[in-house]
Structure 1
Amino acid sequence: MHAFTVSELIRAPIDRVWAVAGDPTRFPEWMQGVDQVEPPDDGPMEAGARLPITVTDRGQTRTSTLKLVEWDPPHGFAIAAGNDSAGTRYRYRFEPARDGTATRAVLEADVIIQGKWRFFAWLLKKGMKRADGGQLRALARLAAP
Protein backbone atom coordinates (compact mmCIF):
# COMPACT_ATOMS: atom_id res chain seq x y z
CA MET A 1 0.00 0.00 0.00
CA HIS A 2 1.53 3.28 -1.10
CA ALA A 3 2.27 5.66 1.78
CA PHE A 4 3.81 8.72 0.10
CA THR A 5 6.13 10.04 -2.60
CA VAL A 6 8.40 13.07 -2.26
CA SER A 7 10.98 14.53 -4.63
CA GLU A 8 13.77 17.03 -4.33
CA LEU A 9 16.11 18.76 -6.74
CA ILE A 10 19.55 18.42 -5.17
CA ARG A 11 22.05 21.00 -6.39
CA ALA A 12 24.89 18.52 -6.71
CA PRO A 13 25.91 16.02 -9.40
CA ILE A 14 24.69 12.45 -9.04
CA ASP A 15 28.11 11.10 -8.01
CA ARG A 16 28.25 13.51 -5.07
CA VAL A 17 24.68 12.57 -4.04
CA TRP A 18 25.52 8.87 -4.32
CA ALA A 19 28.65 9.32 -2.19
CA VAL A 20 26.28 10.13 0.70
CA ALA A 21 23.12 8.18 -0.16
CA GLY A 22 24.91 5.01 -1.28
CA ASP A 23 26.88 4.65 1.94
CA PRO A 24 24.66 2.97 4.55
CA THR A 25 26.94 4.08 7.38
CA ARG A 26 25.85 7.66 6.49
CA PHE A 27 22.08 6.93 6.69
CA PRO A 28 21.95 8.36 10.25
CA GLU A 29 23.08 11.72 8.85
CA TRP A 30 19.90 12.11 6.76
CA MET A 31 17.37 9.56 8.07
CA GLN A 32 15.61 10.76 11.22
CA GLY A 33 15.60 8.26 14.09
CA VAL A 34 18.36 6.10 12.60
CA ASP A 35 21.29 5.86 15.02
CA GLN A 36 23.55 3.40 13.21
CA VAL A 37 23.62 1.25 10.08
CA GLU A 38 26.34 -1.23 9.32
CA PRO A 39 27.28 -2.59 5.90
CA PRO A 40 26.58 -6.27 5.34
CA ASP A 41 29.12 -8.43 7.13
CA ASP A 42 28.46 -11.48 4.99
CA GLY A 43 29.08 -10.11 1.51
CA PRO A 44 28.95 -7.17 -0.86
CA MET A 45 26.34 -4.43 -1.14
CA GLU A 46 23.81 -6.03 -3.49
CA ALA A 47 20.13 -6.89 -3.61
CA GLY A 48 19.37 -9.38 -0.86
CA ALA A 49 22.05 -8.11 1.52
CA ARG A 50 21.07 -7.49 5.14
CA LEU A 51 22.10 -4.32 6.96
CA PRO A 52 22.11 -4.27 10.79
CA ILE A 53 20.42 -1.08 12.03
CA THR A 54 19.90 0.66 15.36
CA VAL A 55 16.98 3.09 15.66
CA THR A 56 15.44 5.22 18.38
CA ASP A 57 11.67 5.65 18.29
CA ARG A 58 9.74 7.41 21.07
CA GLY A 59 12.70 7.12 23.42
CA GLN A 60 13.14 3.39 22.82
CA THR A 61 16.32 2.12 21.14
CA ARG A 62 16.13 -1.14 19.25
CA THR A 63 18.19 -3.12 16.77
CA SER A 64 16.83 -4.68 13.62
CA THR A 65 17.82 -5.54 10.08
CA LEU A 66 17.14 -3.78 6.81
CA LYS A 67 16.95 -5.85 3.65
CA LEU A 68 18.52 -4.29 0.58
CA VAL A 69 15.79 -4.99 -1.99
CA GLU A 70 17.35 -3.08 -4.91
CA TRP A 71 20.91 -1.84 -5.46
CA ASP A 72 21.61 0.17 -8.63
CA PRO A 73 24.56 2.55 -8.10
CA PRO A 74 24.37 5.51 -8.61
CA HIS A 75 20.72 5.51 -9.65
CA GLY A 76 19.18 4.22 -6.46
CA PHE A 77 18.32 1.55 -3.99
CA ALA A 78 15.40 0.18 -2.01
CA ILE A 79 15.36 -1.00 1.58
CA ALA A 80 12.71 -2.96 3.45
CA ALA A 81 12.07 -3.55 7.13
CA GLY A 82 9.66 -5.94 8.78
CA ASN A 83 8.23 -9.09 7.24
CA ASP A 84 5.65 -10.21 4.68
CA SER A 85 2.67 -9.35 6.91
CA ALA A 86 3.84 -6.00 8.32
CA GLY A 87 6.66 -3.76 7.21
CA THR A 88 7.87 -0.82 5.19
CA ARG A 89 9.71 -0.35 1.94
CA TYR A 90 11.56 2.80 0.88
CA ARG A 91 12.70 3.22 -2.71
CA TYR A 92 15.21 5.99 -3.52
CA ARG A 93 15.85 7.00 -7.15
CA PHE A 94 18.46 9.48 -8.41
CA GLU A 95 18.71 10.90 -11.93
CA PRO A 96 20.97 13.61 -13.34
CA ALA A 97 19.26 16.96 -13.94
CA ARG A 98 20.29 20.36 -15.33
CA ASP A 99 23.13 19.13 -17.54
CA GLY A 100 24.47 16.96 -14.73
CA THR A 101 24.98 19.81 -12.27
CA ALA A 102 22.00 18.72 -10.16
CA THR A 103 20.21 15.49 -9.26
CA ARG A 104 16.49 14.76 -9.15
CA ALA A 105 15.85 12.56 -6.11
CA VAL A 106 12.60 10.68 -5.52
CA LEU A 107 11.56 8.72 -2.44
CA GLU A 108 8.59 6.34 -2.67
CA ALA A 109 7.45 4.79 0.60
CA ASP A 110 5.14 1.80 0.93
CA VAL A 111 3.68 0.04 3.92
CA ILE A 112 2.65 -3.61 4.17
CA ILE A 113 -0.12 -4.34 6.65
CA GLN A 114 -2.18 -7.53 6.82
CA GLY A 115 -5.19 -8.53 8.86
CA LYS A 116 -6.95 -6.34 11.41
CA TRP A 117 -4.12 -3.78 11.41
CA ARG A 118 -5.12 -2.67 7.89
CA PHE A 119 -7.71 -0.41 9.52
CA PHE A 120 -4.83 1.64 10.95
CA ALA A 121 -2.96 1.97 7.65
CA TRP A 122 -3.98 5.61 7.18
CA LEU A 123 -2.52 6.51 10.56
CA LEU A 124 0.73 4.67 9.87
CA LYS A 125 1.09 6.30 6.44
CA LYS A 126 0.54 9.75 7.95
CA GLY A 127 3.18 9.09 10.61
CA MET A 128 5.63 7.75 8.04
CA LYS A 129 5.37 10.87 5.90
CA ARG A 130 5.75 13.16 8.92
CA ALA A 131 8.82 11.25 10.16
CA ASP A 132 10.49 10.46 6.84
CA GLY A 133 9.19 12.99 4.31
CA GLY A 134 12.15 15.31 5.00
CA GLN A 135 14.87 12.77 4.24
CA LEU A 136 15.63 14.11 0.76
CA ARG A 137 15.93 17.69 2.04
CA ALA A 138 18.41 16.45 4.66
CA LEU A 139 20.29 14.52 1.97
CA ALA A 140 20.42 17.65 -0.19
CA ARG A 141 22.01 19.64 2.64
CA LEU A 142 24.76 17.01 2.96
CA ALA A 143 25.44 16.54 -0.76
CA ALA A 144 25.24 20.13 -2.01
CA PRO A 145 28.45 22.18 -1.92
Structure 2
Amino acid sequence: MTTAFILSATIDRPAAEVWARLTDWPAATAWMPGVRSIRVNDDELIFHTRGRDRTGRVETVEPGRTVVVHSAQGGVSAAYTYTCVPDGGRTTVTLTADCRVEGVWRPFAGLLRTAIRRTDGGQVAALKRVIEAVSPDGRSSAGSSG
Protein backbone atom coordinates (compact mmCIF):
# COMPACT_ATOMS: atom_id res chain seq x y z
CA MET A 1 0.00 0.00 0.00
CA THR A 2 1.06 3.57 -0.56
CA THR A 3 0.59 6.14 2.15
CA ALA A 4 -1.89 8.90 1.36
CA PHE A 5 -1.20 10.71 4.65
CA ILE A 6 -0.15 10.40 8.28
CA LEU A 7 -1.59 12.92 10.75
CA SER A 8 -1.48 13.15 14.55
CA ALA A 9 -3.10 15.21 17.28
CA THR A 10 -2.70 15.22 21.03
CA ILE A 11 -6.07 15.11 22.77
CA ASP A 12 -6.38 16.42 26.30
CA ARG A 13 -8.11 13.29 27.60
CA PRO A 14 -6.97 9.90 28.95
CA ALA A 15 -6.39 7.09 26.44
CA ALA A 16 -9.36 5.00 27.65
CA GLU A 17 -11.76 7.88 26.97
CA VAL A 18 -10.23 8.63 23.57
CA TRP A 19 -10.34 4.94 22.59
CA ALA A 20 -13.99 4.64 23.62
CA ARG A 21 -14.95 7.68 21.52
CA LEU A 22 -12.76 6.64 18.58
CA THR A 23 -14.34 3.19 18.37
CA ASP A 24 -17.94 4.30 18.96
CA TRP A 25 -18.61 3.89 15.24
CA PRO A 26 -22.23 5.11 15.08
CA ALA A 27 -21.11 8.36 16.78
CA ALA A 28 -18.09 8.75 14.49
CA THR A 29 -20.19 10.77 12.05
CA ALA A 30 -19.39 13.74 14.32
CA TRP A 31 -15.73 13.61 13.22
CA MET A 32 -15.79 11.79 9.87
CA PRO A 33 -16.48 14.41 7.19
CA GLY A 34 -19.21 13.56 4.71
CA VAL A 35 -20.35 10.41 6.55
CA ARG A 36 -24.07 10.64 7.32
CA SER A 37 -24.42 7.36 9.24
CA ILE A 38 -22.49 4.25 10.22
CA ARG A 39 -24.07 0.88 10.90
CA VAL A 40 -22.13 -1.91 12.56
CA ASN A 41 -22.58 -5.57 11.61
CA ASP A 42 -20.00 -7.69 13.50
CA ASP A 43 -16.64 -6.51 12.11
CA GLU A 44 -18.25 -4.76 9.14
CA LEU A 45 -18.95 -1.01 9.06
CA ILE A 46 -21.49 0.33 6.58
CA PHE A 47 -20.85 4.02 5.91
CA HIS A 48 -23.57 6.10 4.26
CA THR A 49 -21.74 8.85 2.37
CA ARG A 50 -22.32 10.78 -0.84
CA GLY A 51 -25.76 9.22 -1.22
CA ARG A 52 -24.64 5.60 -1.09
CA ASP A 53 -23.51 2.89 1.28
CA ARG A 54 -19.86 1.88 1.38
CA THR A 55 -18.48 -1.00 3.38
CA GLY A 56 -15.40 -1.18 5.54
CA ARG A 57 -14.08 -4.02 7.64
CA VAL A 58 -12.42 -3.76 11.04
CA GLU A 59 -9.38 -5.92 10.34
CA THR A 60 -7.08 -5.37 13.29
CA VAL A 61 -7.87 -4.40 16.84
CA GLU A 62 -5.36 -4.02 19.65
CA PRO A 63 -7.81 -2.84 22.33
CA GLY A 64 -6.99 0.61 23.66
CA ARG A 65 -4.18 1.06 21.13
CA THR A 66 -4.81 0.35 17.43
CA VAL A 67 -7.69 -0.27 15.07
CA VAL A 68 -7.43 -0.77 11.31
CA VAL A 69 -10.43 -0.25 9.02
CA HIS A 70 -10.03 -1.54 5.47
CA SER A 71 -12.27 -0.85 2.48
CA ALA A 72 -12.09 -1.88 -1.14
CA GLN A 73 -14.00 -0.85 -4.24
CA GLY A 74 -13.04 -2.09 -7.64
CA GLY A 75 -9.28 -1.75 -7.97
CA VAL A 76 -8.93 0.71 -5.08
CA SER A 77 -8.35 -0.38 -1.49
CA ALA A 78 -7.68 1.77 1.53
CA ALA A 79 -6.57 0.98 5.06
CA TYR A 80 -7.06 3.51 7.85
CA THR A 81 -4.90 2.79 10.91
CA TYR A 82 -5.85 4.68 14.07
CA THR A 83 -3.33 4.49 16.90
CA CYS A 84 -3.72 5.84 20.45
CA VAL A 85 -0.63 6.45 22.57
CA PRO A 86 -1.10 7.55 26.20
CA ASP A 87 0.90 10.57 27.30
CA GLY A 88 0.15 11.19 30.97
CA GLY A 89 -3.49 12.28 31.08
CA ARG A 90 -3.41 13.05 27.36
CA THR A 91 -3.46 10.84 24.28
CA THR A 92 -1.74 11.18 20.93
CA VAL A 93 -3.90 9.83 18.11
CA THR A 94 -2.29 9.08 14.76
CA LEU A 95 -4.18 8.23 11.59
CA THR A 96 -2.27 6.61 8.75
CA ALA A 97 -4.23 6.28 5.51
CA ASP A 98 -2.80 3.86 2.97
CA CYS A 99 -4.19 3.44 -0.53
CA ARG A 100 -3.42 0.74 -3.09
CA VAL A 101 -4.56 1.14 -6.67
CA GLU A 102 -4.68 -1.62 -9.29
CA GLY A 103 -5.89 -2.22 -12.82
CA VAL A 104 -7.59 0.59 -14.72
CA TRP A 105 -7.29 2.86 -11.66
CA ARG A 106 -3.48 2.74 -11.59
CA PRO A 107 -3.00 5.91 -13.74
CA PHE A 108 -5.17 7.78 -11.23
CA ALA A 109 -3.30 6.67 -8.09
CA GLY A 110 -1.90 10.11 -7.29
CA LEU A 111 -5.28 11.78 -7.77
CA LEU A 112 -7.00 9.17 -5.59
CA ARG A 113 -4.47 9.62 -2.76
CA THR A 114 -4.94 13.39 -3.01
CA ALA A 115 -8.73 12.93 -2.83
CA ILE A 116 -8.35 10.73 0.25
CA ARG A 117 -6.12 13.36 1.87
CA ARG A 118 -8.67 16.10 1.12
CA THR A 119 -11.67 14.07 2.25
CA ASP A 120 -10.26 12.37 5.36
CA GLY A 121 -7.23 14.45 6.32
CA GLY A 122 -9.27 16.41 8.87
CA GLN A 123 -10.48 13.38 10.84
CA VAL A 124 -7.93 13.53 13.66
CA ALA A 125 -8.36 17.27 14.22
CA ALA A 126 -12.15 16.83 14.18
CA LEU A 127 -11.92 13.92 16.64
CA LYS A 128 -9.87 16.15 18.95
CA ARG A 129 -12.46 18.96 18.73
CA VAL A 130 -15.36 16.58 19.40
CA ILE A 131 -13.72 14.90 22.39
CA GLU A 132 -12.38 18.10 23.94
CA ALA A 133 -15.77 19.82 23.51
CA VAL A 134 -17.05 17.59 26.31
CA SER A 135 -15.56 18.30 29.72
CA PRO A 136 -14.09 15.38 31.72
CA ASP A 137 -17.29 15.34 33.85
CA GLY A 138 -19.33 14.65 30.70
CA ARG A 139 -20.82 18.12 30.18
CA SER A 140 -20.44 20.04 26.95
CA SER A 141 -17.86 22.78 27.35
CA ALA A 142 -19.27 24.70 24.39
CA GLY A 143 -20.63 28.04 25.48
CA SER A 144 -19.56 27.56 29.09
CA SER A 145 -18.26 30.50 31.03
CA GLY A 146 -15.69 30.36 33.74
Alignment TM-score, normalising by the size of structure 1: 0.84
The structure whose Rg is larger is 2
Question: Which ranges of 4 or more aligned residues in structure 1 deviate by more than 4 Å?
Answer: none
The one-letter amino acid of 1:25's match is P
2:101 to 98, 113, 116: 113
Once superposed, what is the RMSD of the aligned Cα atoms? 1.5
Bigger relative contact order (CA 8 A; separation at least 6):
1
2:125 to 110, 117, 137: 137
The Cα shift of 1:83 comes to 4.7
Aligned residue number for residue 126 of structure 1: 114
The one-letter amino acid of 2:110's match is W
The one-letter amino acid of 1:11's match is D
Asked whether 1:20 is paired with 2:14, we answer no
The unaligned stretches of length 5 or more in structure 2 are 136-146
Alpha-carbon distance in 1 for matches of 2:34, 2:8: 20
Alpha-carbon distance in 2 for matches of 1:73, 1:25: 18
Alpha-carbon distance in 2 for matches of 1:82, 1:72: 22
**Alignment coverage as a number of residue pairs:** 132
Aligned residue number for residue 46 of structure 1: none
The one-letter amino acid of 1:138's match is A
Contact persistence 2:37–2:47 (CA under 8 A): yes
Alpha-carbon distance in 2 for matches of 1:107, 1:114: 23
Aligned pairs for 1:71-82 (under 5 A) are: 71-82=61-72
Aligned residue number for residue 9 of structure 1: 10
The Cα shift of 1:7 comes to 0.7
Percent of paired sites with the same residue: 30
Distance 1:90 1:133, change over 3 A: same
The unaligned stretches of length 5 or more in structure 1 are 44-48
Alpha-carbon distance in 2 for matches of 1:109, 1:69: 14
Alpha-carbon distance in 2 for matches of 1:131, 1:83: 16
1:89 to 72, 79, 84: 79
The one-letter amino acid of 2:48's match is T
